[in-house]
C-alpha cells in the first residue's frame, strides 16, 4: 500500500460521506423534529435522479436538470407530507414504518409506469468528465471532486440556516420541545411541511448528483437508505452536525474497509481466500462501527437537546 493510494481512498471516502450527508441531513431533521420514521426518503432521492436525467436530456444542460430535480423532489416531498405523512405524527413507529413502506412501493411502481423498468441514461457533463491530478500519480475524477465541493457547501449553508436564521431557531426549538413552540403561537404544521420540504430537496440533490455516476433505476433509493439510517444513528438523531460527522465517518470506514481489508487479509491467507474473507469482513465494518459508537454513546455522537 502506497501513500498515494491511501490519499486517493481518503478522497473516495470523503466523497461517499458527502453523498450520505445530503441524504442524512433531511432524514435526521424529519426524525428529530417530527419523530417520524420516513422510509420513503429514498424515494425522493429517486425522484431527484429521474427528473434530473429527464430535464438534462431535454434541455441539454446539467445545471438546469439539477435545479429541476431538487425542485421536483421538494414539491413531491411536501405533497406527500400534506397528503399522507401528516396523519402519522401521532401514531407509533411501527405504523409509520408500514405506511412509509407503502409509499416506497407506490413510488417505485409510478416510476416504472412513467419512465419504464430499464435504467436511465445521464452522462457526466462535459466540463466535469475529465480527471484532475490533485494527488500526483493518481488522476481523480473531476466529477467526484465536484460532489465533495457541493456537499461541503450544502453543509455550510445548512449550518448558517440553523444557527443564524429565524427558521433555524424554530427548527432547533422544535427539536427540543415542540409543544412549547406550538404554545408560543408558531404554526407547527407549516413548520413541519417546510422542514420536510428542505429534507426532500436535499435528497433530490443527492439523487441529482448520483445520476451521472450511478444507475438511475427503480429501487435505487432503498440501497442508500439503510446506510443513511446507520449515519443518523451514529451521528445522533436530530443533529445535522451529527449527520455530517456520521456520514464522513461511515464513508471513510466503508471505503477503507473495502479497499484495505482484502489486502490486510493477504498477510494471513492465500490470495483467493483473502479476497473472499476480506470482502465478507468489509461488508460488516460500518455495522461494527455503529455498535462501537452506541456502546460508547448510546444516543449517538451528537445528540439534539431534549429529543
Partner 1 sequence: MKRIHTLAAAALFSFAAAAPSFAADAVKIGMITTLSGGGASLGIDIRDGFELALKQKGGKLGGVATELNIVDDARKVENAKQIATRMIKQDDVDVVTGIVWSNLAMAVVPSVTRAGKIYISPNAGPSALAGKNCHANYFNVAWQNDNLHEAMGQYVNDKGFKNVYLMAPNYPAGKDALAGFKRFYKGNVSAEVYTKLGQVDYAAEIANLRAAKPDAVFFFLPGGMGVNFVKQYAQSGMSKAVPLFGPAFSFDEGILKAVGAAAIGTFNTSQYSHDLDNATNKAFVAAFTQAYGRKPSLYASQGYDAAMLLDGAIAQVGGNVKDTDKFRAALKAADFASVRGAFKFGNNHHPVQDIFVREVVNDGEGVTNKLVGKVFSAHADAYAADCKM
CB atoms under 10 Å from CB of 133, counted, come to 9
The pair phi, psi for residue 244, each rounded to 5°, is: -65, -50
Rounded to a whole number of angstroms, the minimum distance from the CB of residue 8 to partner 1 is: 5
- Range in contact with partner 1 (rule: CB under 8 A) among 63-71, 88-96, 133-141, 179-187: 133-141
Sequence-separated (6 or more) residues with CB below 8 Å from residue 146: 128
Among 191, 255, 300, 304, indicate the residue that binds partner 1 (CB under 8 A). 255
Among 35, 41, 172, 258, indicate the residue that binds partner 1 (CB under 8 A). 258
- Range in contact with partner 1 (rule: CB under 8 A) among 4-12, 195-203, 236-244, 299-307: 4-12
The pair phi, psi for residue 121, each rounded to 5°, is: -105, 135
Rounded to a whole number of angstroms, the minimum distance from the CB of residue 244 to partner 1 is: 19
- Identify which of 49, 13, 14 has the alpha carbon closest to the alpha carbon of residue 148: 14
Binders in 190-209 for partner 1, by CB under 8 A:
none
* Closer Cβ to partner 1, 9 or 96, answer by number: 9
* Phi-psi label, residue 233: left if phi above 0, alpha if psi -120 to 50, beta otherwise: alpha
Among 61, 131, 153, 177, indicate the residue that binds partner 1 (CB under 8 A). 131
Rounded to a whole number of angstroms, the minimum distance from the CB of residue 282 to partner 1 is: 8
33 vs 152: CA distance, rounded Å: 23
Rounded to a whole number of angstroms, the minimum distance from the CB of residue 259 to partner 1 is: 4
Among 67, 97, 112, 161, indicate the residue that binds partner 1 (CB under 8 A). 112
Sequence-separated (6 or more) residues with CB below 8 Å from residue 169: none
- Range in contact with partner 1 (rule: CB under 8 A) among 72-80, 104-112, 200-208, 289-297: 104-112
Among 59, 61, 118, 177, indicate the residue that binds partner 1 (CB under 8 A). 118
Rounded to a whole number of angstroms, the minimum distance from the CB of residue 74 to partner 1 is: 23
Rounded to a whole number of angstroms, the minimum distance from the CB of residue 306 to partner 1 is: 35
CB atoms under 10 Å from CB of 27, counted, come to 26
- Range in contact with partner 1 (rule: CB under 8 A) among 157-165, 168-176, 194-202, 277-285: 277-285
Residues that bind partner 1 (CB under 8 A): 2, 4-5, 8-9, 12-13, 15-16, 108-109, 112, 117-121, 123-124, 129-131, 138-139, 141, 143-144, 210, 212-220, 223-224, 255-256, 258-259, 262-263, 271-272, 275-276, 279-280, 283
Amino acid at each position: 500500500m502506497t501513500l498515494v493510494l491511501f490519499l486517493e481512498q481518503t478522497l473516495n471516502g470523503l466523497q461517499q460521506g458527502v453523498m450520505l450527508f445530503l441524504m442524512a441531513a433531511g432524514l435526521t431533521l424529519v426524525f428529530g423534529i417530527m419523530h417520524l420514521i420516513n422510509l420513503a426518503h429514498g424515494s425522493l432521492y429517486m425522484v431527484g435522479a429521474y427528473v434530473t436525467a429527464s430535464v438534462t436530456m431535454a434541455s441539454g444542460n446539467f445545471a438546469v436538470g439539477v435545479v429541476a430535480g431538487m425542485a421536483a423532489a421538494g414539491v413531491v416531498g411536501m405533497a406527500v407530507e400534506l397528503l399522507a405523512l401528516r396523519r402519522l405524527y401521532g401514531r407509533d413507529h411501527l405504523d409509520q414504518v408500514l405506511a412509509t413502506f407503502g409509499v416506497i412501493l407506490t413510488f417505485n411502481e409510478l416510476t416504472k409506469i412513467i419512465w419504464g423498468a430499464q435504467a436511465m441514461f445521464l452522462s457526466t457533463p462535459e466540463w466535469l468528465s475529465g480527471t484532475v491530478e490533485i494527488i500526483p500519480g493518481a488522476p481523480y475524477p473531476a466529477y467526484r471532486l465536484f460532489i465533495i465541493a457541493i456537499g461541503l457547501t450544502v453543509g455550510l449553508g445548512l449550518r448558517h440556516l440553523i444557527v443564524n436564521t429565524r427558521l433555524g431557531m424554530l427548527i432547533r426549538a422544535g427539536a427540543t420541545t415542540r409543544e412549547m413552540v406550538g404554545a408560543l403561537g408558531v404554526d407547527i404544521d407549516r413548520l413541519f411541511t417546510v422542514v420536510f420540504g428542505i429534507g426532500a430537496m436535499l435528497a433530490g440533490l443527492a439523487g441529482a448528483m448520483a445520476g451521472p455516476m450511478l444507475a438511475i433505476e427503480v429501487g435505487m433509493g432503498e440501497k442508500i437508505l439503510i446506510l443513511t439510517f446507520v449515519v443518523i444513528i451514529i451521528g445522533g438523531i436530530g443533529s445535522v452536525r451529527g449527520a455530517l460527522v456520521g456520514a464522513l465517518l461511515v464513508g471513510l470506514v466503508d471505503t477503507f474497509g473495502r479497499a484495505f481489508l482484502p489486502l490486510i487479509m493477504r498477510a494471513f491467507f492465500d490470495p483467493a481466500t483473502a479476497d473472499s474473507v476480506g470482502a465478507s469482513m468489509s461488508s460488516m465494518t460500518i455495522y461494527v462501527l455503529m455498535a462501537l459508537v452506541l456502546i460508547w454513546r448510546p444516543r449517538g455522537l451528537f445528540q439534539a437537546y431534549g429529543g
